[in-house]
Amino acid sequence: MLHEPAAQCGPDASADYKMRIGVWMFLLYAAVYAVFVAINLLKPLWMERTVCFGLNLAVVYGFGLIAFALFLALIYNHMCGTHEAGSKTAEGAK
């Protein structure tokens, strides 16, 4: 099973949709990441301010960036999966 020829992919009706939402989500994450870098460069002392649970902004923002990446990834997968299922249903109806 593992040694068949590399899989060939057929046309993907959802490709444009997935690329569009992918780009928007990328830009959203890039903006949040850019703010993190900007604070470090422009206002580094803000990073040692306590934000919650005794944790400073550096820790909260850093952990937050990791958690936000997973959150966006799950939303993206849900949206892609829903659109792919819709496309297949529409193709089946034809």
Partner 1 sequence: MAIAIFLAFVGLVLGLSFYFAGKTKSASGYFAAGGQIHWAVNGVAFAGDYLSAASFLGICGMIATAGYDGFLYSIGYLAGWIVALFVVAEPMKRLGKYTFTDALDSKFNSRGIKLTAAISTLVVSVFYLIPQMVGAGVLVEPLLGIPHYAGVIMVGAIVITIVATAGMTSTTYVQFIKGGMLVVFSLVVCVAVLYRGLSTTPDQGGRVPFHEYKTMNASEVRGELVPADKAYTVTGKQEVKGAAFVKLLSGGIETWWTLYNKDGKLTLRETQYSTAKADGTRLVNGLPESKENQPRLYGNLEAIKGKTGPEAATGKVGPLEFLSILSDPETRVNRWKTVKFSDGADKVVVYAPNVTPGNKLMRPGLKFKVEGTPMQKLDFFSLMLALFLGTAALPHILIRYYTVPSPACARKSTIVAIAAIGFFYILTMYLGLGALVNSVVNPLTDNMSAPLLARSFGTFLFAIISAIAFATVLGTVSGLIIAASGAVAHDLMDRYMQLGFNEKQKVRAGKIAAFAVGIVAIILGIIFKGMNVSFLVGLAFAVAASANLPSIIMILFWKKTTAKGIAASIVTGMVSAVGIIMFSPSIYEKFGLDPAAAPIPLDNPGIFSIPLSFLVLVAVSLLTQKKEAQAV
Binding site for partner 1 (CB under 8 A): 1-7, 9, 12, 15, 18-19, 22-23, 25-26, 29-30, 33, 36-37, 40-41, 44, 47-48, 50, 53-59, 62-63, 65-67, 69-70, 72-74, 76-77, 80-81, 84
Comparing CA positions, the residue from 28, 37, 15 lying closest to residue 73 is: 28
Nearer to partner 1, 30 or 90 (CB): 30
Smallest distance from partner 1 to CB 6, Å: 4
Long-range pairs for 20-25: beta carbons < 8 A, 24 or more residues apart: 21/76, 21/79, 21/80, 22/76, 25/72, 25/75, 25/76
